Amino acid sequence: MARYISMRLIQLVVIIFLISVLAFLLVHLLPGDPTIAILGPNDTPSARAELLRQLGLNRALPLQYWTWISHVIRGNLGSSFLTKQPVTNAIAVAFPIDLELIVVSQLMAFVIAIPLALIASRRPNRLFDRLATTSTFGMLSLPTFVIAVLLVLVFAVKIHAFPATGFTRISQGFGSNLRSVLLPSIALAVGSVAVYYRLLRADLISTLQEDFVTMARAKGLSTPYILLRHALRPSSFSLLAGAGISIGSLFTGAFVVEVLFQLPGIGYQLVTAINSRDYLMVQGMALVAAIAYVIINFIIDFLLTVLDPRVRHA
């Protein structure tokens, strides 16, 4: 187990290094000129050259990378070209928003999807299963922005139960904080419910046909007990793997929801920075999002090894 984890950690470091190189190179591939964004249309060739010198963008790429990564290792991601705000400050604003959105939305998704799948898998292709499968199929078909707009229209504009936009920090009150993330979390959870339900249902149906389940039934164990104690664990590998990909991608994939609810999360800040050629902000946000993604998947891999010893011996 220790050897497996050590190997995975080494892989993690290599992946993060490659991500840092890609994040660094990515911004050089973007079209447009950052000096335009900074100086505006009134710049001059000399002002532009001076700015490139000040920013170090006139030096060789490896030198630029070394300067950047040595600062990053010391926790200095630089400052936004445009707002002069330290990138770490922007991340400190964005990261808790995404973290809370992900935690709340994924909790909602698991709380709904797992019981649904357990009930549906008991009697496949019966009324409940068909209803649940059709409903989740509908959920998958609905784009997130449509769900978000509907939620705002009903719960914010008509009922006035939730704010339409904005994020209230937990330090400003837990109730207000929860109200501010509930609608966007529901918008994000809908798609996840559908995916998780379908993954778990399929695996559960397969597991319930295994010999050890037949044995448990023969021993007279109740169906709920069999489902929870014997079938759920071996059926959750696909669910976990899917959750890893889904949760990791939400760090940047929640962009649409973040725009509609005006939540300055990582996705929102990243796209804003890309549009304005805010190089250091793009690098910092992309780096954080990618590292969060690989760490989450590392944790998921670790959980899989705990749940299924075959994985670590593979």
Partner 1 sequence: MESSVHHEPEYAAHDANTRSTMACAANGTHGEDRGGYETTASRQSDGRLSLLVGVAGYSEAGGELSDTGRRYDRRTFLARGAGSAAALAVAGVGGPTMLSASTQPGIGIGGPRRGGTINVGMNSEIDGFLPSASHFDNTGITYASTVFDSLTVRAANGEARPYLAQSVTSNPDYTTWTITLRPNVTFHDSSPLTADVVVANFQAIRSSALTGQAVKPISGVKAVGDLQVVFTCNEPLVAFPQYLATQLGYVVALSQLESSNSTHPIGTGPFRYVSWVPNDHFTVEANPNYWRRGVPYLDGITFRPIIDDDSRQSSLLAGTIDLMVSHDPNAIATLRRNSSFQLVDDLNQSTGQPDMDFICLNVTAPPLNDLTVRQALAHATNAKEIVKLFGAGVTPVTSSLYPPGSPYRPAHNGYPTYDLAKAKRLVAQAAPRHGGAIKLTLGDIPDPRQLEIIQALQSMWMQAGFHVSLTDVQQVTYIDNLVTGNFQAYADEQFSAADPDLNYVWLSETTASGPIALNFARNKDPKLEAALQHGRTHADPAVRAEAYQTVDKLLAKDLPYLWLSRAPWSMSASNKVQNFAGPTLPSGGRAEGFRAGTFTTSQIWLKG
Q: Would you tell me which residues interact with partner 1 (CB under 8 A)?
A: 31-34, 36-37, 39-45, 47, 80, 82-85, 90, 93, 149, 152-153, 156-157, 160, 162-167, 259-262, 264, 268-269, 272, 274-277
Handedness of CA 149, 154, 155, 156 (dihedral sign): positive
Residue 211 CB, nearest distance to partner 1 (Å)? 55
Say which residues have a Cβ less than 8 Å from residue 306's Cβ, sequence separation at least 6.
none
Helical (H) or strand (E) element with 178: helix 174-207
68 or 279, CB closer to partner 1?
Answer: 279
Residue 151 CB, nearest distance to partner 1 (Å)? 10
Residue 73 CB, nearest distance to partner 1 (Å)? 25
9 or 49, CB closer to partner 1?
Answer: 49
Residue 86 DSSP SS3: strand
Residue 80 CB, nearest distance to partner 1 (Å)? 7
Residue 77 CB, nearest distance to partner 1 (Å)? 15
196 or 261, CB closer to partner 1?
Answer: 261
272 or 305, CB closer to partner 1?
Answer: 272
239 or 273, CB closer to partner 1?
Answer: 273
Alpha carbon distance 72, 87 (integer Å): 11
197 or 268, CB closer to partner 1?
Answer: 268
Residue 53 CB, nearest distance to partner 1 (Å)? 14
